[in-house]
Structure 1
Amino acid sequence: MKGYTKPFILVVSVLLIDQLSKLWIKLNMTLGQEYKILGDWFIIHFTENNGMAFGLEFGGEAGKLALSLFRIAAVTAIGYGLHYMVKHKYHRGFILNVSLIFAGALGNIIDSTFYGMIFSESTWFERAKLFPAEGGYSSFLHGKVVDMLYFPIIKGEFPAWFPIWGGEDFLFFRPVFNIADSAITVGVALILIYQKRYFKEEVVEPESYNSEVVED
């Protein structure tokens, strides 16, 4: 069990931070409400999405169900892969990065799987209630993912000569996301940055052959 300790602690820590932040947002903020943390650069902005990470959408109710089922299958596969990596002693950094991805994916699955059943609807005028007497706002696997981290760091306008978007306003970074999305992004980024370290190929020494002596 020794090799599982750090990945387990990392996964549990990410899940706790992710879920506690979402619970606080749901119970204390109305939809669209926001708090400015660092001026206009870092804002806690409450929004929900029916789709993928960073607010991307995916095909209505049928698409929502398909996405939830895909997430569950993906997390199951990642979890098994993580177990395999620990068991076969893969690079510790790689295992921890995969743990981040696993925790992030699991965090968003909890929202889409259970939040519709345990919360009332969040609206622009009313905060959600936990375990409302009238029941949740949706059914199993049809919950919405809670997002709140917003970093509109750079605002401006594309120059007139810029192709397609010339003269239009731009904003970086526009998507609103959550701790789970961040864990996935950081995990993937670190794997890409350190892939040479994680996947070192063994250097195979050229075979030495005994030279034959050809007698005349």
Structure 2
Amino acid sequence: MKKVFLITFLVILIDQISKFYVKTNFYLGEDVEVFSWFKIAFVENPGMAYGMEFGGVTGKIILTVLRIFLIAGIIYYINMYAKKISNSYFIIPVGLILAGAIGNVIDCIAYGAIFDKGTTWNDMFQGWAGYPGIAKADFTGYSGWLTGCVVDMLYFPLFELDWPSWIPIIGGQHYKFFQPVFNIADTAISIGGFALFIFRNKAFITDSGERIKF
């Protein structure tokens, strides 16, 4: 269990440092090209991973609370299985998944109270509105607890193309891959989940050689 929490702590630390740096040094919507296929692009996500959204302020609070319960469940199961399993195929992926879940929920819980500026819900337009200038972590708060937006910054426009006009529905449209902007926490969840699936035949083997059945 200590190894899981060590991995979790290190990933959360990297995730939060990167988010704080971008949030306090970039204008919302600003991007810096690192390579032609990779940019640091600052956006804020009021909803789920990879830019998906879920309702207004009420939906935001519900989603944050659900995330907290999900993390509690993840910790419970990790603690239960970590007593029996110590192989790296299990320890590393679950540590990454837990780190990613906690990393994003920190934004949701605290960022609305820590920073003076952030993306907020606009009742008039029934949508999320951005802000001018660069945010400061002065604890004046822009929306309060449980309503902060997740900071995303990793953008990989690997390639783009125009779909041939003869293709139904999407014909003639411009397509760019990969369009969503994400963060370290999202990456940790994706890698952890993928690794756990790929190595499932090795991950869920106890130290005594017994296979865990679900």
Q: Given the two structures, how large is their TM-score scaled by the length of structure 1?
A: 0.86
Q: Report deviation, 1:85.
A: 1.4
Query: How do 1:197-212 residues align onto structure 2 when only pairs under 5 Å count?
Result: 197-199=202-204
Equivalent residue for 1:67, pick from 27, 45, 63: 63
Q: Is the partner of 1:19 in helix, strand or coil? A: helix
Q: Shift of residue 30 of structure 1?
A: 0.8
Q: Of residues 16, 20, 26 in structure 2, which corresponds to 1:19?
A: 16
Shift of 1:124: 5.3
**Which digits, 9 at most, give the CA deviation of each residue in 1:141-170, with x for residues without a partner?**
000000000001111111122221011100
Identity across matched positions, percent: 44
**Contact 1:85–1:95, Cα closer than 8 Å, also in 2:** no
What is the DSSP-based 3-state SS (H/G/I as helix, E as strand, rest coil) of the residue aligned with 1:170? strand
1:82-121 CA-to-partner distances (Å, cap 9, x unmatched) read 1111112254311321111100000000000000001011
Report SS of the residue matched to 2:154: strand
**Which of these residues, 181, 198, 209, is aligned with residue 193 of structure 1?**
198
Q: How does 1:84-163 map to 2 (within 5 A)?
A: 84-89=80-85, 91-122=87-118, 125-132=132-139, 135-163=140-168
Q: Which amino acid aligns with 1:73?
A: F
Task: Output the amino acid matched with 1:160.
Answer: S
Report how many aligned residue pairs link the two structures: 197
Between 165-174 and 122-131, the greater mean CA deviation after superposition: 122-131
**AA matched with 1:129:** K
Segments of 5+ residues of structure 1 without an aligned counterpart are: 204-216
Is there any run of 5+ residues in structure 2 with no aligned partner, and where? 119-129
CA–CA distance in 1 between the matches of 2:178 and 2:53? 18
In structure 1, C-alpha distance between the alignment counterparts of 2:174 and 2:154, rounded to whole Å = 21
TM-score, L = length of structure 2: 0.87
Structure of larger gyration radius: 1
